[in-house]
Amino acid sequence: MQPTGFSGGTLYFAYGANLCRAHMALWCPEAVPLVRAVLPGHRLVFRPWADMLPAPGHSVPGALYEVSAGDLAALDTFEEYPTLYERLHTRVHSDRCPFDAMAYRMTPGHDVCLPDADYLNLILQGYADWNLDAAPLASLATRLRQDADDWTPDGALDDDPDDTGRGNAWA
């Protein structure tokens, strides 16, 4: 089964900046927004850009676009493929059914750290564009503003800022 509106390009799962439809249109003018989707068994993290890490019991919200070969080349440039991000072929789920899609994930060696406020706002706009629950990201933005003293001088997140033993609630 294919999403409504799909005409045979590449299914691309967006979960970071490319959720923002205006941003996506700048890089990929032929991209067709299709449907909201989630990637199960993963968690959204920032390193400092959006990334996904395996995490049983969690899921990463996002959306599917159909992209052309030209759009895919533009995405590769934007995502700095294969240096910063690598391609991942995965299965995501919409409200109706699962789909096989391509996504990007960061290459190894990038530490979890504070995302730039403008970048986080771009992702929040994407959540609004797709009517995704932005509460976890909105609370992250609030927490980052309130807990700036929990960041070490090198920009790495304090592994246990509230000394609860749980580590980072968002990473």
The per-residue pLDDT for range 82-135, each reduced to its tens digit, is: 999 999 999 999 998 999 999 999 999 999 887 888 899 999 999 999 999 998
Alpha-carbon distance of 165 to 92, in angstroms, equals 32
| Average confidence score pLDDT of the chain | 84
- Res. 3 pLDDT band, cuts 50 70 90: low
Percent of the chain clearing pLDDT 90 (strictly above): 68
Residue 7 has pLDDT above 70, yes or no: no
In the block, tokens 């959006």 appear at 50
- Max distance between CA atoms of the chain, in angstroms, equals 51
Residue 33 has pLDDT above 90, yes or no: yes
We find that the CATH architecture of domain 10-148 is Roll (3.10)
pTM for the whole structure: 0.81
Burial status of residue 58 (CB atoms within 10 A of its CB: 0-12, 13-18, 19 or more): middle
Looking at residue 88, its pLDDT comes to 96
The per-residue pLDDT for range 53-70, each reduced to its tens digit, is: 999 999 999 999 999 999
The per-residue pLDDT for range 146-159, each reduced to its tens digit, is: 655 454 433 333 33
What is the b/e burial string over 68-100, where b = at least 16 CB atoms within 10 angstroms of the residue's CB?
A: beebbebbeebbebeeebebeebebebeeeebe
Terminal-residue alpha carbon distance, the chain: 33
The structure tokens listed for 35 are 């449907």
Looking at residue 109, its pLDDT comes to 94
Looking at residue 162, its pLDDT comes to 44
